[in-house]
Structures are given as structure tokens and as C-alpha cells.
Amino acid sequence: MRRYFVTILMLFLVMLLLDSSSWATESDIIGEGGQAGLEESVREVDKFNYQFGDRPDPFLPFLSKDNSRDELDDTPINEGSGEPLTGMQLFEPGQLKLVAVFKIGNRNIAMAEDVTGKGYRLDENMPIGRYGTINRIGDEQVEITETYKTTTGRVVTKEIVMRLKKEGDN
């Protein structure tokens, strides 16, 4: 309680010490004729002009079609479809290392492992990660396409390639 009293007392003293000429009064805003005179009522504070330079306009909304920084924003919308992620959807492609590609019949199958060394089978058209699908399994690589919608409404498509590392490659 004493702390609040001291704070209020300090604020009161600061208000008393301030020069009354720094505060705008009604007579400063309204002209002598009783109406707002534009030229007479311009204070020094009102003469400030914002220098844009390479900075964005602070009065434009962040999410707009006209704002150039929104076009570069590739942040996906977190669309919770309600379904829990299962299988390979739990892993983003960057979390896996391609360790083998082999042929069964006329189709290629790939093997990947996570950071703990656990192995997983990859097939074509299998969902991987939150937004990805395995398009093609080649002889030494797996091609993945990620498609998602950004916060600005743009649809972004990214191509990711997981390459098979040979012995001696880091």
C-alpha cells in the first residue's frame, strides 16, 4: 500500500513540475474566431514528417495484397484438419536420411532412417511430413512435393529431393 502511495505522489509532483506551456489547450486548437483555424492551430508536434527510406509504411496492415513483404512470407497456415498425423506424416523430409533404394518388380522402394537409426519404408504417393507427398523414387533419390497455403492466401509448392549418400560422402 505504501508503495502505491509513493508512486502516486511522484506522479503528482512530476505533473506539477511540468511547464503548462507544453500542454495543448483548447485555445491552441480553436482559433480566435471560435472555429478551428488550420494554419494557426498547427503545433510543432503536428509538423512531423515520417521518413520512409527503406522502411515499410507503419500504417498499412500487415496482411494485405499490396504489401510486398507478404508476398515473400512462406509461413503456412496451421490448418488443423482434426485428424492426428500418423506414419510418415510425423517426420518432415529434413529429419530423415535416405539410406537405400531398391527395385521390387517394376517399382522402386526407398528406405530412410531417423536420427535414432530406426528405418522406414518409403513408397510413391505416400504422404510425408505435414504437407508433403512422395512423387517419384528414382535410382538414387526421392522426390517430394510439399503444397500448402500461406497466411496471405497464396498456395506454395516446394520440390524437395532426398539424395542417397554414397560411402565416403558426408
Q: How far is CA 157 from CA 131, 147, 149, 160, in A?
A: 10, 4, 9, 10
Read off the amino acid at residue 123.
Answer: D
Residue 32 pLDDT greater than 80, yes or no: no
Q: What is the mean pLDDT of the chain?
A: 77
1-28 pLDDT per residue, tens: 777 888 888 887 777 766 555 555 555 5
State pTM to two decimals. Answer: 0.54
Domain positions in the chain are 87-163
pLDDT band with cut points at 50, 70 and 90 for residue 30: low
Most confident of the ranges 7-16, 53-62, 99-108, 148-157 = 99-108
Q: Return the CATH number of the domain spanning residue range 87-163.
A: 2.30.30.830
Per-residue pLDDT averaged across 107-112, rounded? 92
pLDDT band with cut points at 50, 70 and 90 for residue 167: confident
- The residue written with cell numbers 530406426 in the block is 118
What pLDDT is attached to residue 40? Answer: 54
73-96 pLDDT per residue, tens: 667 776 666 678 778 888 888 899
User: What are the helix and strand counts (H, E) for the chain?
Assistant: 3, 7
How far apart are alpha carbons 7 and 1 in whole angstroms?
A: 10
